[in-house]
Amino acid sequence: MLRTTRTVRSLGALVGALAAAGALAAALARADAGATAAARARGRAAHSLSASDEAHLRYVSASGATLYETGRVAGTLPGSMRVHMRIAADFSGTFTIYAAGGSISGHGSATPHGAGVYESFSGSLTISGGKGRYRYAHGTARLYGTFNRMSYALVIQTRGTLRY
159 — alpha (psi -120 to 50), left (phi > 0) or beta?
beta
What does the pLDDT look like over 41-85, one tens digit per residue?
A: 445 557 999 999 999 999 999 999 999 999 999 999 999 999 999
pLDDT in tens, 81-131: 999 999 999 999 999 999 999 999 999 999 999 888 999 999 999 999 999
* CB-CB contact of 42 with 163 (8 Å): no
